[in-house]
Amino acid sequence: MQSYLQNRRIAQQVRRDRDGERTPQDEKQIWVVADDDDPFNPLNWPLLSRAKSVAVLSLLIFAQAWAGAADSVANTAASQEFGVSKVAQNLTTAMYLFGIACGSLFVGPISEPAWITLIISAFAFLVALLFLPETYLPVLLDWKARHLRQATGSDRYVSHHAASESFTQRLKTKLALPATFFTTEPVIAVLGGYLILLYALLFSFLSGFDYVFKNTYDLSTGLEGACFGAIAAGATAFTLLAPGLYSWARHRTAHVRGSDVLPEFRLWPAMLTGPLLPLSLFWLGWTASPAVTRIWSALGACFLFGVCFIAIYVSAYEYIIDSYAEHAAIALASITIVRYFIAGGIVMAARPMYEGIGVH
C-alpha cells in the first residue's frame, strides 16, 4: 500500500515538472538518475519517515526472532506431551532455521504457525504491507522513468536498472553468487564466520538456559524464559545508545556533516565490544551456580552478551553494506545462508553438549 502511494506521488511530481512537455523521438536515450534533492530518494527522507521504516522493519525482525525461539522454553513439556526426546523436540527450531537459510536464496523466511507466533507474524506482515515504503533507489528510478515516458510521450527515458538483465537472466547469473562471495571474499568469510559464532552461541542458549538457569536456580519454565530478557535488554541498550555513540565518534574524527564515511568507520563498535564477548561467556559459565553467586550475576553476564551480540552484528552488516554497495544483498545472503544452517545444527547439538560437559 505504501509503495503504491509512493508510485502515485512520483507520477504527480513528474506531471508537475513536465506538464505538457513532449520530447522528440529521434534523440538518444535519457538516463533517469536521482538528483541530490529528489524528495523520493530515501537518502532525502525526513527523520520521521526513516524512523517509521526502521520501526516496521524492527517489527518484522522481532516476529522472525520470536518464531525461531518461541517454543524453546517449553521444550521439556512438549517432549513429554508428544513422547519424544528433548533433542528431537529441538527439531522444531532447527527446521525453522534451516528454512530461513534456504529462503535467503530467494525472498526470505516464511514464519511457521508453533498460534501466538502466527498472530505476531500476521500482524507484522500486515503492518509491513500497509506502511513499509519502497527504499531501493533503482526501483524508484524505474517508476520515475515510466512516468516520464507517460508524461512526455517519449520512450527515451530509461533507468539503468530496467535496462539491465531480465529477472530470469539475473536469477541464472546471480543465484550462485552467495556461495562464490563466501568462498572467495576474505571479508565475507571472516565477518561471516564471526556472525556464525555469535548465532551458534545465541541459539545454543535456547536449550542451554535449561541448564544455566532452570536446573541451577530451580526456576519455573516461565521464569526461565524471562531470563532471555537480559540478553534482549543488552541488545536494546546498545540499539538506543548507538545513534548517539556514532554521532560522537563522527564529531571526534572531525567528520563533515552529510558526507560519506569509510566502511572501516562502521567497525569501531565491534572493535570495542569484541573483547567483551569471551568475558561475558566466562562470567556466565563460572558464576552460574548457587554456591558461587546469586542469579543476578548470571543475568548481568547475559546483558553484556546482548550488548556484544548486537554491536558486532550491526557493525559487520554496516561494513558489508558500505563495502559492497549494490552487491550488498548478495554478500549478506551468503552469510545468512551459512549462519542459519549452522545455527540449526547447533540447536540439535546444544542439549547433548550441556548434558555431557555441564554449564561451566
Q: Where are the domains of the chain?
A: 1-70+114-164, 169-360
Q: Is 20 exposed, middle or buried (0-12, 13-18, 19+ CB in 10 A)?
A: exposed
- Rounded Cα distance between 61 and 68, Å, is 11
Q: Report the distance separating Cα 347 and Cα 92, nearest Å.
A: 10
Burial of 157 (0-12, 13-18, 19+ CB in 10 A): buried
> 157 phi and psi, to 5 degrees?
-80, 115
Query: What is the pTM for the complete model shown?
Result: 0.65
Contact between residue 200 and residue 305 where contact means Cβ atoms under 8 Å apart:
no
Contact yes or no for 196/342 (Cβ under 8 A): yes
What angle, rounded to 10 degrees, do the helices at 186-209 and 295-324 form?
A: 150
197: cell is 559464532
Phi/psi of residue 71, each to 5°? Answer: -95, 5
| Closest to 90 measured CA to CA, from 111, 108, 114 | 114
CB proximity list for 331: less than 8 A, separation 6 or greater: 178, 181, 185, 188, 320, 323, 324
DSSP string, 11-68: HHHHHHHTTT----SSS--EE----TT-TTSGGGS-HHHHHHHHHHHHHHHHHHHHHH
Task: State whether residue 282 is helix, strand or coil.
Answer: helix
Sequential pLDDT tens for the chain (360 residues): 777 777 777 777 777 766 655 555 555 777 777 777 777 777 788 888 888 888 887 777 777 666 666 666 666 666 666 666 666 666 666 676 666 666 655 543 333 346 555 666 677 777 777 777 887 777 788 888 888 888 777 777 777 766 666 667 666 666 677 777 778 888 888 888 898 889 888 888 877 888 888 878 888 777 877 888 898 899 889 988 888 877 777 776 655 555 567 788 888 889 999 999 999 999 988 888 777 778 888 899 999 999 999 999 989 988 988 888 777 777 887 788 788 788 777 777 887 888 888 888
The SS3 of residue 265 is helix
Cβ atoms of residues 31 and 160 within 8 Å: yes
Confirm if 340 and 199 have CB atoms less than 8 A apart: yes
Amino acid at 291: A
b/e burial code for range 296-313 (CB count within 10 A of at least 16 → b):
eebbbbbbbbbbbbbbbb
d(CA 154, CA 119): 48
List the end-to-end C-alpha distance of the chain, in Å, as a whole number. 52
